[in-house]
Amino acid sequence: AQKVTQAQTEISVVEKEDVTLDCVYETRDTTYYLFWYKQPPSGELVFLIRRNSFDEQNEISGRYSWNFQKSTSSFNFTITASQVVDSAVYFCALVDANRDDKIIFGKGTRLHILP
């Protein structure tokens, strides 16, 4: 079965602190894609990253970085030097490429960055 677990329901940190959002996934397929989306208070879904199952290289984009560990089925997201504008709900998601193309979302982590 496909499943995405985001164990952290809500996190609060003070601005400029680093914060890591955890994501653990389950799938029987060997070919899959993992995603992170940001949902600000305005409600839209903002695509942040897509990573395929064959590429375990970590990725950095500005203050954002992602750590993909196939051995632990985890795809964690770190925000360095957090800013108030980072306050949002963050969703981790999975697509099994060989099965179908529906996106399976985790329940999300609500991140509060306190000034």
Partner 1 sequence: EPEVTQTPSHQVTQMGQEVILRCVPISNHLYFYWYRQILGQKVEFLVSFYNNEISEKSEIFDDQFSVERPDGSNFTLKIRSTKLEDSAMYFCASSETGGGILGEQFFGPGTRLTVL
Positions touching partner 1 (CB under 8 A) are 31-33, 37, 43-45, 47, 50, 52, 91, 93, 95-98, 100-108
Q: Measured from the CB of residue 97, what is the shortest distance to partner 1 in angstroms?
A: 4
Question: Please, are residues 11 and 21 in contact by the beta-carbon 8 Å criterion?
Answer: yes
Q: Pick between residue 32 and residue 82 the one whose CB is nearest to partner 1.
A: 32
- Report strand pairing: 64-69 vs 46-52: unpaired
Q: Measured from the CB of residue 44, what is the shortest distance to partner 1 in angstroms?
A: 5
CA nearest neighbour of 97 among 13, 33, 25, 48: 33
